[in-house]
Amino acid sequence: MPYRLRFSLLLTLLIAFLAPGTTASHGGGLDAYGCHHDRKQGGYHCHRGQFVGQAFAAQAEMLANRQESYTAVPPTLPSIQFTGKVVGITDGDTVSVMHNGRAGKFRLHGIDCPERGQPFGTVAKQFTSALVFGKEVTVRPHGHDKYGRTIGEVTLLDGRMLNQELVKAGLAWWYRQYSKDETVAQLEQDARAARRGLWIDPNPVPPWEWRRLKR
């Protein structure tokens, strides 16, 4: 083989080996989730897909996060805000709103109210009912949770946001795992300081922990 041809072939192989995104540079091939176990650095890293750029201790940790995360809004459901009448209250953070002739169940985005059986669970439901039941509201969908409920923000006709009003009254936690809303974070801090609602208890049990203990 001529020297120039051999040199060109070797150079091509070297570039392919060093190029970012290749299997060799990752210390392990990518799996179906776009992630891999890094044999060089340890841990489980994602280079594609839902968790691109994130690292986990193991695949099991990634799968647990994947199960809890919201999915994208399907194209058959509203992707922009709409106005409808509230016809049902499941609990403090879940309401049913009429849209296109039928009632859809909506889970309030970025907050988590006490569960049934928890202190202030019934109070939170009554608070939500008093504010929106039988009234027109504006809903802005964000996506879905693993139970198939649409995640969204619900705004009253006077401009108040139901999500925020619950936190302000001390009847919901800021769901920091799924929300980066600093306004809601501050409302929770203010409610804690004033010991409003559930914050009268110095160590209330967050509903996500309550659900885990009840499994």
Kindly name the residue from 4, 6, 39, 115 that is annotated as catalytic.
Answer: 115
Q: How far is residue 153's CA from residue 107's CA, in Å, rounded to a whole number? A: 8
115 is catalytic: yes
CB-CB contact of 98 with 109 (8 Å): no
The token pair that represents 33 in the structure block: 């989730």
Read off φ and ψ for residue 41, nearest 5 degrees: -105, -15
107 is catalytic: yes
192 is catalytic: no
Kindly name the residue from 140, 149, 160, 176 that is annotated as catalytic.
Answer: 149
Kindly name the residue from 61, 68, 102, 107 that is annotated as catalytic.
Answer: 107
Q: How far is residue 122's CA from residue 204's CA, in Å, rounded to a whole number? A: 15
The token pair that represents 43 in the structure block: 């841990």
Give, in order, the Cα–Cα distances in Å from 80 to each of 86, 102, 140: 18, 17, 6
Question: Environment class of residue 21 by beta-carbon count within 10 Å: exposed (0-12), middle (13-18) or buried (19+)?
Answer: exposed
The token pair that represents 89 in the structure block: 């209250």
The token pair that represents 150 in the structure block: 């649409």
CB-CB contact of 141 with 68 (8 Å): no
The residues carrying an active-site annotation are 107, 115, 149
